[in-house]
Amino acid sequence: MSTREEILSALRRNTRETYDRPDLSLLKPVSYADPVAEFKQKTTTTAGARLIEMSDGDDINNKVREAYPDAKVIASNLPGVQAQLNPDTATVGQLEKADVGVIRGEIGVAENACIWIPQTMKERVVCFASEQLVIVVRRDAIVSNMHEAYARIAASQEYFREYKFGTFISGPSKTADIEGALVYGAQAARGVTVVLQ
């Protein structure tokens, strides 16, 4: 018998009372009449990110430069983005020095302003080590809730074609101690800008 089986057997032997699982079918996921409007509102409030909306004819490079005029090193592998570093060819050490990372988000979630980001570059460190992160997401990729987001992820193996990693990001990295001192950029980007296309 394996260690796992021994532990499970011990748990079964020492369980005195069992309960039926609760009926979760009564819980309905939140749904919004206008998921894009809810996503925009939650992005700037709940998630604490900056929001930039693009119109037809807008250039992503101009939007990034307007948002971060002092940035010297931009890292991105998105077509059309003018970057000094490419996460497909740069080293981790080089990418850690990026002022701004520009990446694509595939699914935006209105209920919590999370954005699904599958790994589409060799070095995913650009998502976490850049001082500032710009996430580009399409309006038609916004869903109401996490249930819908996971259903889309499960239905499409496209997200894991080359790399087997993806993550949800919602706003800048932050942490607080017991006294309430809030620190931004503790584990990842100090600031996040969401660009809606």
The two three-digit tokens of residue 24, written as one number: 């979760």
All structural domains of the chain with their residue ranges: 30-196
CATH of domain 30-196: 3.40.50.10420
The whole-number pLDDT of residue 184 equals 66
Write down the pTM of the prediction: 0.80
Predicted pLDDT of residue 115: 95
Distance set, CA 40 to CA 88, 97, 101, 168 (Å) = 30, 30, 21, 16
Residue type, position 58, single letter: D
Q: What is the pLDDT of residue 186?
A: 65
pLDDT at 47: 81
Q: Tell me the average confidence (pLDDT) per consecutive run of 10 residues in the chain, 197 residues long.
A: 88 84 80 93 87 89 92 92 90 89 94 91 86 93 93 80 82 74 70 91
- The reported pLDDT for the residue numbered 185 is 62
126 three-state secondary structure = helix
Tokens linked to 77: 């592998």
